[in-house]
Amino acid sequence: MHSASPRENRVLLVVDVQNDFCPEGALAVPGGHELPAIINKLSRRFAHVVLTQDWHPEDHLSFASSHPGEKPFSAIELPYGPQILWPDHCVQDTRGAEFHPDLRLEHCELIIRKGYLREIDSYSAFFENDRTTPTGLAGYLRERGLNRLFLVGLATDFCVAYSALDARRLGFEVTVIESACRGIDLEGSLEAAWKQMEEAGVVRA
Ligand code: VGL
Ligand code: ZN
């Protein structure tokens, strides 16, 4: 780690590199298993590393199994807006919710869990899907002067994109490192996410 200056204001935000988002996981993202090696290497250039961990109760409302008759990947309307229904994934304290075993980020300073409220999903590292209930991450980063965010992880078009867009909205400088992300791509969601991110001033690196 060469940049450990106390004034270092860059932070690597590693989104949801968990077993369930890797091949053989419950909500497998193609190529997800390629990320640990890439991110381990990248992380050496960052003094500050923060991880997010998708962390759902077993009856979470984003699971198709919580809505009899509904199938995974269909969309429904919840009080806070449209919600895609997912296969059960990242259930608290299960193997699927653990970080990929090859991830070696021992200098990670904070793990932020999200999606733990049954009634509401949370793609973004900053807000629940109502886009108003904060996770506390913005306050943490601001208090520590970490205002230049570099995002990597899973999935590009959901948790990475939502986090990047919220970070821009909150006034952070944001770069998404494309080679260290993988997408789900439901009905063009990957291209749409990049378009939205670019319009919001996210740097695509
Ligand atoms: C995610 C769908 C559901 C993600 C999490 O990490 O992108 N996607 N939960
Ligand atoms: Zn989830």
In a domain, 137, yes or no: yes
- List pocket residues of ligand 1, CB cut-off 6 Å: 16, 21, 54, 86, 123, 154-155, 158-159
Answer whether residue 65 is part of any domain.
no
Q: Is residue 84 in a domain?
A: no
User: Domain with 121 in it: what CATH number?
Assistant: 3.40.50.850
The answer to whether residue 68 is domain-embedded is no
Structural domain span for residue 31? 6-57+92-204
First to last CA, the chain: 21
Residues in the chain: 205
Residue from 159, 176, 186, 190 to probe ligand 1 pocket by mutation (most atoms less than 8 Å from CB): 159
- Entry pTM: 0.96
The bound ligand whose nearest atom lies closest to the alpha carbon of 125 is 1
The residues, any chain, with a CB within 8 Å of residue 174's CB and separated by 6 or more, are: 149, 151, 164, 167, 168, 201, 202, 203
Helical residues (DSSP H) of the chain, grouped into ranges: 35-43, 137-143, 161-169, 189-199
What pLDDT, on a 0 to 100 scale, did the predictor assign at position 3? 46
Residue 78 lies in a domain: no
Q: What is the count of structural domains for the chain? A: 1
Positions of the chain with pLDDT under 50: 1-4
pLDDT at residue 5, rounded to an integer = 60
Ligand 2 centroid–CA 176 distance in Å is: 20
> 54, 88, 114, 121: which one is catalytic?
114
Q: Would residue 181 count as lying in a domain? A: yes
Our answer to whether residue 108 is catalytic in this structure is no
